[in-house]
């Protein structure tokens, strides 16, 4: 089909943000007097938004109570605001591929569970802002992925029908989001997927990277 818009997940799809997320999580845990977490653990916790990341970090013998969770979220916010974009880097080939996507004239957006303020901060630091006139964060709509609301909001803002959208992500949450919204979805095999590799039969295509996704989508350059 001819796609009229494309939405990209951010963390684990366009950028490797785990080093900064890990630093903020470790500083949060240290400030709260709790044991540290490994990079692998935190990588498995990423993908469902900031509050879920913090809750998983704080869950040892039992989940944190409401007071500890609130302290954890506030502490994480403080530290991540300082670390966001420090060590985060685009995956190889992403910037070149985004230029190629942009050259087709297709409407482009980021749809992520990262809070909007942190998303905008990160896109600015990595000089990715010009690619994405539309940015939907985890708190832009009342629900976050895998609820369809973020994708529907992005398509409405781009003034494109969701049926003509292609969503590209790295996790089953991205696949479920696209399915719930009623659009096509390609998945990349790297990124943060809870330690469970994605399968080609779970999505419309399992692609090596977003450059491969563009070739598969067969969008001509303007």
Segments making up each domain of the chain, as ranges: 5-16+89-217, 18-83
pLDDT at residue 11 in the model? 96
Domains 5-16+89-217 and 18-83 share a fold: no
Residues in a beta bridge with 6? 108, 166
Q: Which of 9, 16, 139, 174 is catalytic?
A: 9
pLDDT tens by residue, 102-131? 999 999 999 999 999 999 999 999 999 999
With beta carbons less than 8 A apart as the criterion, state whether 98 and 118 touch: no
- Average pLDDT value for residue range 10-28: 97
User: Considering only the top CATH level, what class is 5-16+89-217?
Assistant: alpha beta
Extract the tokens encoding 139: 């708190």
User: Considering only the top CATH level, what class is 18-83?
Assistant: mainly alpha
Is it the case that residue 26 has pLDDT exceeding 90? yes
Query: In the annotation, is 9 catalytic?
Result: yes
pLDDT tens by residue, 155-194? 999 999 999 999 999 999 999 999 999 999 999 999 988 7
Residues in a beta bridge with 111? 136
């Amino acid at each position: 089909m001819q796609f009229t818009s494309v939405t990209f997940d951010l963390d684990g799809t366009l950028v490797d943000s785990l080093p900064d997320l890990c630093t903020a999580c470790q500083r949060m845990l240290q400030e709260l007097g709790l044991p540290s977490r490994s990079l692998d653990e935190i990588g498995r916790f990423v993908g469902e938004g900031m509050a879920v990341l913090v809750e998983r970090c704080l869950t040892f013998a039992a989940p944190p109570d409401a007071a500890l969770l609130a302290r954890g979220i506030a502490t994480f916010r403080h530290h991540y605001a300082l670390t966001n974009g420090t060590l985060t880097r685009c995956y190889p080939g992403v910037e070149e591929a985004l230029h190629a996507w942009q050259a087709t004239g297709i409407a482009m957006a980021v749809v992520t569970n990262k809070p909007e303020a942190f998303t905008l901060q990160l896109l600015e630091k990595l000089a990715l802002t010009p690619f994405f006139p539309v940015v939907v964060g985890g708190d832009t709509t009342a629900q976050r992925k895998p609820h369809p609301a973020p994708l529907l909001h992005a398509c409405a803002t781009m003034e494109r029908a969701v049926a003509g959208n292609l969503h590209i992500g790295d996790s089953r949450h991205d696949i479920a989001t696209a399915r719930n919204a009623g659009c096509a979805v390609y998945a990349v095999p790297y990124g943060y997927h809870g330690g469970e590799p994605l399968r080609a039969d779970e999505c419309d295509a399992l692609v090596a990277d977003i450059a491969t996704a563009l070739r598969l989508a067969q969008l001509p350059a303007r």
